[in-house]
Chains A and B, each alone.
Chain A
């Protein structure tokens, strides 16, 4: 089992080792994002909103974890469609569980690398230390990764069904989640009906929790617990949906039609 999982991990390692574009994906965009927001926060600081500054920087970095996590697993599968390798993988004895595990491992590694880099840059440029979030940071990050996978399972299922036509979703879905998750502002600024939806998303609790820690120094474990609980629900639903979709893909013979696209 581990041999097959490591095979897929290796496959993405080989891919990233050589591709400038893909290394950019890990470093360039997140760094640019951080810089832009960092300077916005500097400006806001001049307007004397010191807490907001911390919040925004924390948000930028944490949002990136969720975003990369979702992208990580969806892009990995899309990559196999692009290079017409998906059938080769499907006729090898790897199980879907092994494939997903491998992709998640790759996702964790990529997210960790990005987070560490952004963390250092934030410290260097803006004197903001992620570690101010305290030991709860690991739980915050973990919940975001999990939610990214949950969402990723849904988007991946759609890619199996609709092939490259669904690619827009990979980029679109996170931006559907972002405004509702209260990433850059407290939930309370949302209209009441949207707040209800916001509280259905595990990410909302993470960003609310982060602001609370930065403001008061207290980590609210119960909030993280709710987030984790919701994550389990989404992961379960995502897995069921993905599985159902794979069965349909086999019934409809979608994988056999790929060369026609």
Chain B
């Protein structure tokens, strides 16, 4: 485990609850993320990972609870926060009928960068897709698209990067390259990352801390090695499967460790 020499929390979630009609997608989540940390949000499909990230980005208004990003309340300072964070996901893409270059120019302006040429070149190189710069975005392979999405996500030099299954459609070789690129930027900039993935090896390798969600609740959290030890599972993957199948059994594991959740 690495020590970032900082425990300033850049994300503070308290009692975050989101109901969609009768379904409780997030049930009283409380956690903090420190500057420079990489947090993995894990859990089976439908656990609430995407919903949690979208709440933190102001795409979804929570039913109750508070979300502070970079010390600011997301409900009141959404645009201020959004200019300092970024997001990329396998489920969004950049307009396919613009070239790579055009897309990156448009988004750099959206983030207030007047001349972004150097930065764009640097990012394209870093993610090894420099040769696609004049191609139509729609003609890229899925691996190249994912990396282009990441380039977009780094345009504004974000302090926090939210990633929703960023490596979902990549072959192992490209996935490794992407991880390497992410790590490099993370080290250089002291970047905080919050991300979801179904690849447990990747999680073990990347994350300082993980939070396991099941049915909208936090069932476990800690560093990957701590969690493995605590749960007596042979690996994160085995633990994942156990939680996916019997999430309810794990609800007590962290009970003593978290702040009590205030009801609103």
Contact = CB atoms under 8 A, between A and B. Distances in A.
A90 interface: yes
A3 B61 CA distance: 28
A127 interface: no
Given A88-B152, A91-B87, A95-B79, A11 B98 contact: yes
A260 B241 CA distance: 25
B142 interface: no
B117 interface: no
B204 interface: no
Contacts of B92: 84-85, 87-88, 259
Interface residues of A, number: 34
B106 A11 contact: yes
A233 interface: no
B57 interface: yes
Contacts of A259: 91-92
> Chain A's interface: helix, strand, loop or mixed, by majority?
helix
B189 interface: no
B61 A88 contact: no
A222 interface: no
A4 B59 contact: no
Interface in B38-77: 50-51, 54, 57-61
Interface in B118-145: none
A111 to B, nearest CB: 22
A85 B83 CA distance: 17
A11 B103 CA distance: 8
Interface in A74-113: 79-80, 83-85, 87-95
22 contacts: A3-B109, A4-B110, A4-B112, A7-B109, A10-B106, A11-B95, A11-B102, A19-B97, A83-B94, A83-B95, A84-B92, A85-B92, A87-B92, A88-B152, A89-B110, A91-B58, A92-B110, A93-B79, A93-B112, A94-B110, A250-B59, A253-B20
Interface of B: 18, 20, 50-51, 54, 57-61, 79-80, 82-83, 86-87, 89, 91-99, 102, 105-107, 109-112, 114, 152
Given A89-B110, A93-B79, 12 more contacts: A14-B99, A83-B96, A85-B95, A88-B107, A91-B86, A92-B110, A93-B110, A250-B60, A250-B61, A255-B60, A256-B54, A259-B91
